[in-house]
Structure 1
Amino acid sequence: MTHDSYTENLLIKVAWYYYKDNLTQNEIASLLGISRTKVVRLLERARVEGIVQFQIKGMETNGLTMEKEFIEAFSLPHVFIIPTPQNDKDLNDSLSRAAAQYLNHKLQPEDLIGLGWGRAVSRTVDYLSMEPSCHVSVVTLTGGVNYYLHNRNFQDRGMEKFQHIHVIPAPFLASTEEMAESFLSEPSIEEILALGRLSKYILVGIGGICPDATIIQEEKMTLNELTFIKRQQAVGDILGQFFDRDGRVIDLPHHKRLIGQPISTLAMMKNVIAVAGGEKKVEAILGALKGGYVHTLITDENTALSLLQMEVKK
């Protein structure tokens, strides 16, 4: 029987904690954020499928060790590390599939997901598999959501899976600071922003500082503007807000024109899932971790190893 990377990882984790770490089923359920009944089912499945033999097999046991090291090194509540694909072009797709499976295992009826923007988030939404009867809704965290709506075919891409789609009715970036203040004072926008802060899970991407960054490809910013931002010691962005290597938000004029949730809000929450990987994003991910904006990181082994090495060298 075949199954996705996340399910495979979860099966091995449950078996590892139960048979190797001698945790109880209740302790495993609490640790992984799933029900005890699901732990029992996964243990039985691991036995049936031969994952549990005289030893726990699979290269993912190395991933488990790396995940433990990563959590300790960055004081991160959760991390999910997938094998790095041989082809770099497949990385974003693999990460998005993993993020979708992660959410599929977590989501309950009537849950609300807060959505950032970008390719990884958009693909994760595409890969979410749930029935409309689950009544899961989404709310956008920024303005300018054409990446989800205008550029998608609803029937093919599956936005009908959500009960409600709450959209900030504004652009990503206002033309002036005064215009941004006007948008942000609108009751309809205030209401959506308040709803976003009530999300059970928040899904974001982490942008790097490079010409092929989504923020450039989506024409939300020019290459010259990005070059200027890089000179201010920026290493990456979340929701269009740029930070340095230590996670400090940089004082930039364009931040005052953004319509959306401040990432300082994310740092005060405990439910932010970031999907990011690749050599070009290592410094950006490190800054996001240092800033405390991320509580669950979904990345790949090569990226995780690079981040661990950078943390050791500091």
Structure 2
Amino acid sequence: MTAGGKDTDDMVQATWLYHVGQMSQEEVSRRMGLSRFKVLRLLQDARDLGLVRISIEHGTTGTLARADRLIQHFGLTEAMVAPNTGDDAAAGRRGVGQLAASWLARIGREGPVTIGVGWGRTMAAMADALTGLRNPELCFVSLMGSMTHTSATSPFDVCVRLAALTGARAVFLPAPFLADSAEDAALIRRQRLVREALDVARAADHMVISVGECTADALLQSSGILTPDEAAGLIATGAVADTTGKFFAADGSLAATDLNLRAPSIELQDLHRSDVVVLSSGTGKAAALRAVLAAGFVNRLIVDEPLARALLQEEAA
């Protein structure tokens, strides 16, 4: 019988979907990415622990209901909402990171699994929160190039930490985050080691990424990846979001910027072929996240409660 921690989170989610969402065990299995046997065991444990009465006895039923609304509004396979922790941006990222770590522990427990990883502060928060997962058959692969210096938010560092925590293998993309030109990016992609890393990334079973906003104080600018002129030019094109080296307009289309040709990373069609999980927190990410959702490749969404409220209010307006 499960008694606490991540297994309890899985138990509550399975119970909610089955008893409140009126899903079949097969539908719960597909939603959560678990075998039907595991779902059956979680439901039995919930009954044994007294969770199932007239309602589900758990403090996060409000966020579960909000997650259901996100699924319906945006056509997602799964959504998870971290409870509101106030105006502290770091606390919001920690909450999303904890849920993301629970998701990662769930899908990474059994068998060979390849997981593509992006970069950013919520990705680092996921690595900070991950415990109790050991699987040498896991492989973490970076979906884009990296920066010239170490940082807890870079794809290289996120891969290293996740592999070290889980006993897994890590595959790095030996390339810069952005090349100086589209021609340089094409040349980099033709290198054997880059091709091999990209082949692993394109075949990933899951891709977990974050979303950046195209503003003057965004991480791309503050980290020095974009020059001030490049950042200003990007904003002038109407770009509002970036992820995995791609820049998006508000309607989900690729923005009219040559930066979309300068990242030696996975391509947009690669995201459409995988099971993509997006992590994001804070209401300031609402416009960027809506653009990425409109692009149509997101399967699962993990956000904090303020951002979930912003997304749903905008959708209803």
Shorter-chain TM-score tier: 0.7 to 0.9
* Cα distance in structure 1, aligned partners of 2:4 and 2:20: 23
1:152: Cα distance to partner? 8.0
* Residues 1:55 and 2:55 are matched in the alignment: yes
Contact 1:137–1:162 (CA under 8 A) maintained in structure 2: no
The residue type equivalent to 2:188 in the other structure is: F
Letter of the structure 1 residue corresponding to residue 258 of structure 2: P
- Relative to the length of structure 1, the TM-score reads 0.87
- 2:71 aligned partner, one-letter code: I
Q: Which residue of structure 2 aligns with residue 110 of structure 1?
A: 112
RMSD of the TM alignment (CA)?
Answer: 2.6
Question: Could you tell me which amino acid in structure 1 is paired with residue 247 of structure 2?
Answer: F
Q: What is the CA distance between 1:23 and its match in structure 2? A: 4.5
For 1:277 and 1:153, the matched residues in 2 are separated by: 21
The offset of 1:207, in angstroms, is 0.5
In 2, the alpha carbon distance for the partners of 1:29 and 1:91 equals 28
> In the alignment, what sits opposite 2:187?
182
Instruction: Indicate how the Cα distance of structure 1 residues 284 and 3 shifts in structure 2: closer, same or farther if over 3 A, else same.
Output: farther
The equivalent position to 1:225 in structure 2, one of 226, 230, 234, is: 230
Question: Cα–Cα, structure 1 residues 151 and 56, in superposed 2: closer, same or farther, change >3 Å?
Answer: closer
Larger mean Cα displacement after TM superposition, 183-192 or 219-228: 219-228
Residue 125 of structure 1: CA displacement?
3.1
Which residue identity lines up with residue 262 of structure 1 in the other structure? E
Matched, 1:124 2:129: no
Matches within 5 A, 1:228-307: 228-266=233-271, 268-307=272-311
What stretches of structure 2 of length at least 5 have no aligned partner? none
Q: Is the 8 A contact 1:9 1:60 kept in 2?
A: no
C-alpha deviation, 1:95, in angstroms: 0.6
Q: Equivalent residue of 2:273, what SS?
A: coil
Query: Aligned with 1:134: secondary structure?
Result: coil
- Give the gaps of 5 or more residues in structure 1: none
Q: Which residues of 2 match residues 76-155 of structure 1 at below 5 A?
A: 76-86=76-86, 87-107=88-108, 108-130=110-132, 132-144=134-146, 146-147=150-151, 148=154
Task: Report SS of the residue matched to 2:247.
Answer: strand
1:162 positional shift? 4.2
| 1:57, distance to aligned residue in structure 2 (A) | 2.4
Conserved 8 A contact 1:126-1:158: no
Q: After superposition, give the CA deviation of every residue in 1:126-170 in whole Å (9 maximum; x if it has no partner).
A: 43335554321111111116445876896xx46323432111111
Conserved? CA contact 1:25–1:36, under 8 Å = yes
